Chains A and B, each alone.
Chain A
Amino acid sequence: DTEVTQTPKHLVMGMTNKKSLKCEQHMGHRAMYWYKQKAKKPPELMFVYSYEKLSINESVPSRFSPECPNSSLLNLHLHALQPEDSALYLCASSQHPGQGRDIQYFGAGTRLSVL
């Protein structure tokens, strides 16, 4: 089983709203990732949690706030977003962070629209 589950699948929010994206995996993976993807472009890394600790923040604006409550769950809290933040947000997980043969498995994504 290589399933990464993301909810919700679609989200529409106003610029003053607060919302959260959720990601879950039960493969015992020790790293979880958030990516942002625009149409027909490759995913762009936002955050990496390794062993439940934030290890990489790719200079993401503070209106995006990640949280890793435990090794199976990853949240992305959204506040005061801009229309240009509209994108597909992807979660991924991997078993052996930092090891050369580590493989990332992706969820289906949350399609976010900011009005």
Chain B
Amino acid sequence: TQLLEQSPQFLSIQEGENLTVYCNSSSVFSSLQWYRQEPGEGPVLLVTVVTGGEVKKLKRLTFQFGDARKDSSLHITAAQPGDTGLYLCAGAYGNKLVFGAGTILRVKS
């Protein structure tokens, strides 16, 4: 069974602070996706990382894929209230996505 451990589960921070979310596994994934989801809506794809050691930037968000393709991180710089939501990492394994437990982020103004 492939597992993705995502941490932290909850994060409540002030506007302007930085944060990092981690996803770790003992399994190797072909690729890893990060999604953001707002209440009552579907997950929206933020980024896909496929190459070990890859770093991708999306404005204030930086995504990293571990060299061994077993772990990934999402770093947000200067968080804003609009960043509030559920962040999900998901590893591609065969025909399936293996999801982490999710990180609920709340950014207070």
Q: Which residues of A contact B (CB under 8 A)?
A: 2, 4, 6, 31, 40-43, 45, 48, 50, 55-56, 88, 90, 97-109, 111
Give which listed residue, B31, B33, B96, B104, contacts A40 with CB less than 8 A. B104
B99 touches A43 (CB 8 A): yes
Assembled-state Cα–Cα distance A48/B48 (Å): 21
Interfacial chain B residues near A48, Cβ < 8 Å: 95-96
A98 and B95 within 8 A (CB): yes
B78 within 8 A of partner (CB) = no
Q: What residues of chain B lie closer than 8 Å to A56, measured between beta carbons?
A: 95-96
Bound state CA distance, A97 and B95, in angstroms?
6
- Minimum C-beta distance from A92 to chain B (A): 8
**Distance from A82 Cβ to chain B, minimum over Cβ atoms (Å):** 22
With both chains docked as a complex, state the minimum distance between the C-beta of A6 and any C-beta of chain B, in angstroms: 8
Contact B100 A42 (CB under 8 A): yes
A98 touches B43 (CB 8 A): no
- Nearest CB on A from B7, distance (A): 14
- Is A90's CB under 8 angstroms from B42's CB? yes
Contact B31 A100 (CB under 8 A): yes
Complex: A90 Cα to B97 Cα, angstroms: 14
B101 contacts A by Cβ under 8 Å: yes
Determine how close the nearest CB of chain A comes to the CB of B99; give it in whole angstroms: 4
Check if A98 sits within 8 Å of B94, measured CB to CB.
Answer: yes
Contact of A102 with B96 at beta-carbon distance under 8 Å, contacts A43-B43, A90-B43, A109-B41 already known: no
B92 interfacial by beta-carbon distance below 8 Å:
yes
A-B contact pairs, 13 of them (CB 8 A): A4-B42, A31-B95, A41-B102, A45-B97, A48-B95, A50-B95, A90-B42, A90-B43, A100-B50, A104-B90, A108-B41, A108-B42, A109-B42
Distance between Cα atoms of A31 and B95 in the complex (Å): 9
Report how far A6 CA is from B41 CA in the complex, Å.
Answer: 11
